[in-house]
Amino acid sequence: MTEWLDDPATGRIPNVDRITLRQLLNHTGGIYDYADEEDSPFWQVYLGDNPDWTRVWTIPELLAYADGASHAPYFAPGESWAYSNTGYVLLGLVVERVTGHRLADEVRDRVLVPLSLNETFLAEGAAIPAGTADCYHALAGELVNVTPINLSWAWACGWTVSTMADFARFGRAMLDGALVSPASHREQFAFVPDPRFASVGWGMGVWSQPSAHGQVVGLGGDGPGFTANLARLAKVDLTVAVLLNSAGGDAGTGDIRDEAFGALLGPVSFEA
């Protein structure tokens, strides 16, 4: 990866000279995830006693959490699996280096425009704009309005502002292979095992798990104030998309997704 990224912040990440783009895409590089631990200094900015929802993060600040002086890698490249938002930040930097364009421009030209996602845009580190739903996070047993949050904490990991219709359209196109070549689509759906759950596999930006109604593939994410989940049952050509303007509580998008599947197909059970 160092052939594309040679700045000091990247160079201080352990094993960066051995980690491949594939390993960043399927989370097998072992890079520490800056958003991993709720009691970390990063999350204390949002979940601590004096949260600062307007905090603006720079990319070097995010990468510093994966610095070898701050955190050891989870494992040697290719030896296991662990989700890493830091890896997505590195991928965003690679896109900008290789193309010579801003990541936002590449996403617009390659995804938003071809799919006519006219109600979707990248906040690019700004606060959540006016006109979107207020968002709430469960803190100390209460739902706190965190709408002023600045999305610079996410960048390539999750800075997208969208509608339910656009989210579902993107999900179907991505899962059906409409955005990449057939060869790339096959690689995207080459799953590696999740060491926590025997039946769960991870591809490039997608997960997979067998259910009583066939193989379910999906994607999703969460952050302060918002949660997203999208899953597709190709066997019956059914896609369920869920967006919540809350996070941190007991109710999750996975529960709502499974209720939707159940309402249409009968009870859904996933293999452990």
Q: What is the pLDDT of residue 255?
A: 83
Q: What is the pLDDT of residue 269?
A: 66
More confident residue, 28 or 44: 28
More confident residue, 141 or 218: 218
Q: Which residue has the tokens 């201080």?
A: 12
- Which residue type does 94 have? V
Q: What is the pLDDT of residues 124-154, one digit of tens each?
A: 777 777 788 999 988 888 888 988 888 889 8
Q: What is the pLDDT of residue 267?
A: 73
Lookup: tokens for 210: 């067998």
Query: Mean pLDDT, to the nearest integer, of 205-220?
Result: 90
More confident residue, 254 or 96: 96
Q: What is the pLDDT of residue 84?
A: 96
Predicted TM-score of the model (pTM): 0.92
More confident residue, 202 or 252: 202
Q: Considering only CA atoms, which of 221, 240, 222 is closest in space to residue 231?
A: 240
Of the CA atoms within 13 Å of residue 47, those in its CB half-sphere come to: 19
- Which residue type does 196 have? R
Sorted by sequence, the CB contacts under 8 Å of residue 166 that are 6+ apart come out as: 117, 118, 119, 120
pLDDT of residue 220 exceeding 90: no
Q: Please, what's the b/e burial string for 33-55 (b: 16 or more CB within 10 A of its CB; e: otherwise)?
A: bbbbeeebebbebbbeeebebee
Distance of CA 156 to the CA centre of its chain: 8
Distance of CA 214 to the CA centre of its chain: 24
CB atoms within 10 A of CB 71: 20
Q: Are 135 and 145 in contact (CB under 8 A)?
A: yes
pLDDT of residue 249 exceeding 70: yes
Residue 270 pLDDT class (50, 70, 90 cuts): low
Q: Please, what's the b/e burial string for 12-29 (b: 16 or more CB within 10 A of its CB; e: otherwise)?
A: bbbbbeebeeebbbbbbb
More confident residue, 124 or 57: 57
pLDDT of residue 81 exceeding 60: yes
Lookup: tokens for 3: 């052939």
